Amino acid sequence: MKIYKTITAELGEATYPIILGRSIIDNIVKHIEEFTKNKKIVIVTDTFFTESLGNKVRELFLDAEFEVYLVTMNAGKGNKNIHEVLKIFGLLEENNVARDSTLIAIGGGVIGDLAGFVASTWLRGMNLVHIPTTLMAMVDSSVGGKVAINFRKTINAIGNYYHPRLNLMDLDLIDSLPDRDYYSGIAEVIKCAVISDKELFNYLIDNCSLISQRSSEYLVHCISSALEIKINHVNGDIREGGKRLLLNYGHTLGHAIEISTEVDEDEYYRHGEGVSIGIMAVAYVAEKYFGLNNELYQSFEKLFKTYNLPTYVDSEKIGYGKEYILEECIKNVHKDKKRINNSLRVILSDKIGSARAYNDVPVSLINEAFLHIVR
C-alpha cells in the first residue's frame, strides 16, 4: 500500500478525506470503523468489477465479521434510473439496513450517482463511501455531492446533494482503464484548468507524453490539482448559486451533444468526449460573444487532439444525418437544468484560467455554435 496524498474536502456543510494512492482499498475496514460501529455493509458495484474488486471488498468485511450485501448492476447510462433504485431500496428494507450502516459505491459515474442517490434518500441519509474506478469519476462525479438519476431522456433529472464519509481513489484502477475512458477523464482535468488554473493547462501541454503513459507522479498532480479546483468551487456553494456554476463549463452544450448522439439509447460519446466537444462549442460562442480572434479556440483544439479527444461531432461516423443531430442538440439544450426562463445560462471563458456565467447569450449564437460543431 502506498498513499501519495490525502486531501481534505472542506465543502462548508461537509468535510471528509479523499485518499489517493495505490492498493489503498486493503485498509477499507479500518477506515469504515473510524466513523461507524454499525456492522452492516451494502456494496453496489458495476458487474465489470464484481470479481476483481466487489468480491475482494466483500471478503475484507466478512473477515472482519461484518454483515455484507453485494449488489451488482450494469453500469450503462440507461440503468441510472428509478427501477434500479427501487431494487436496492427493496434489499435495504428486507435486511433492516439502518441509517448508520454504510453503502459503498464501487464504479464509475453511473454507479456513484445512483448509489449516492440511494444513500441520500434511504432513511433520510445513510453513510456513503466512494471507490471511483474511472479517472472521470475521481475528478468529477465522486466529489462535490451531486447524486442523481435520469428520467426518460433528461440527464440527472431527479437528484440531491449528498456527501460521502470517505473517498478512496486507487490509482491501480486507472492502470487498467481503456485509453478512451482514460482520456475522457483527462477532458475533465482540462476543463478545470481552463476555468481556474493556467499553470495546470500548461502542465497538461508540457507533460502530455508522461500523462498519457499514466505515470504516477504526473497523474497524482493532475488529479489533485483538479480536485482542489473542484473543492474550491464547491466550498460554500453546494447548490450552485455562484462559483460552483463555473464547473459546468462545456457541460451545457456537451450534455445536449451526448443525448443527441445516442445510438439505440446507448452513448456514442463518453461524458468526457461530450465535454471536450462542448468546450469547443462554447469556445466558438466566446469568440463571437467577446469579439476574440481564434487563438483560444485553436489552443483548446490542439490540446484535445493531443489527448485523442474529439473536437466536433462527426455525424457520418455516428450514422445520423447532420440535420437530425443539429435539431436534437438544439431541442435538448433547452431542457438543460441551467436554463433561466426562456434563456440559457452559459459559462464562457475569454482567457485560460478564468471563466464566468453569462445569462444573456443569444439563442441564435448557441444554435450557430451547434451548426459549427456538428459536421
Q: What confidence score (pLDDT) does residue 97 get?
A: 98
Burial class for 98, CB neighbours closer than 10 Å (0-12, 13-18, 19+) = middle
Q: What confidence score (pLDDT) does residue 67 get?
A: 98
Is the per-residue pLDDT at 141 higher than 90?
yes
| Rounded average pLDDT over 37-51 | 93
Of 20-24, 154-158, 311-315, the least confident: 154-158
The full set of domain ranges for the chain reads 2-175, 179-373
Residue 41 has which C-alpha cell?
Answer: 455493509
Instruction: Show the 3-state SS of the chain.
Output: CEEEEEEEEECCCCEEEEEEEECHHHHHHHHHHCCCCCCEEEEEEEHHHHHHHHHHHHHHHHHCCCEEEEEEECCCHHHCCHHHHHHHHHHHHHCCCCCCCEEEEEECHHHHHHHHHHHHHHHHCCEEEEEECCHHHHHHHCCCCEEEEEECCEEEEEEEECCCCEEEEECHHHHCCCHHHHHHHHHHHHHHHHHHCHHHHHHHHHCHHHHHCCCHHHHHHHHHHHHHHHHHHHCCCCCCCCHHHHHHCCHHHHHHHHHHCCECCECCCCHHHHHHHHHHHHHHHHHHHHCCCCHHHHHHHHHHHHCCCCCCECHHHHCCCHHHHHHHHHHHHCCCCCEECCEECEEEEEECCEEEEECCCCHHHHHHHHHHHEC
Is the per-residue pLDDT at 337 higher than 70?
no
Q: What confidence score (pLDDT) does residue 336 get?
A: 63
| Rounded average pLDDT over 184-206 | 99
Summary mean pLDDT of the chain: 95
**Cβ atoms 349, 286 nearer than 8 A:** yes
pLDDT one-digit tens code per residue, 100-123: 999 999 999 999 999 999 999 999
Is the per-residue pLDDT at 316 higher than 90?
yes
Is the per-residue pLDDT at 223 higher than 80?
yes
| CATH number listed for the domain at residues 179-373 | 1.20.1090.10
The backbone torsions φ and ψ at residue 113, rounded to the nearest 5 degrees and listed phi first, read -65, -50
C-alpha 77/C-alpha 88 separation (Å) is 17
Q: What confidence score (pLDDT) does residue 78 get?
A: 84
Q: Which residue has the higher pLDDT, 51 or 75?
A: 75
Is the sign of the CA dihedral 124, 126, 129, 130 positive or negative? negative
| Rounded average pLDDT over 338-365 | 87
C-alpha 125/C-alpha 127 separation (Å) is 7
Q: What confidence score (pLDDT) does residue 225 get?
A: 99
Q: Which residue has the higher pLDDT, 263 or 299?
A: 299
Residue 181 CB neighbour total at 10 angstroms: 18
Residue 153 has which C-alpha cell?
Answer: 431522456
C-alpha 38/C-alpha 61 separation (Å) is 12
| CATH number listed for the domain at residues 2-175 | 3.40.50.1970
| Rounded average pLDDT over 81-90 | 97
CA atoms within 13 A on the CB side of 358: 18
How far out from the chain centre does Cα 209 lie? 24
CA atoms within 13 A on the CB side of 173: 25
Burial class for 333, CB neighbours closer than 10 Å (0-12, 13-18, 19+) = buried
Query: Could you tell me whether strands 154-161 and 146-151 are parallel, antiparallel, or unpaired per DSSP bridges?
Result: antiparallel
Would the pTM count as exceeding 0.85?
yes
Is the per-residue pLDDT at 155 higher than 90?
no
CA atoms within 13 A on the CB side of 252: 32
Q: What confidence score (pLDDT) does residue 37 get?
A: 96
Q: What confidence score (pLDDT) does residue 342 get?
A: 62
pLDDT category at 152 given cuts 50, 70, 90 is confident
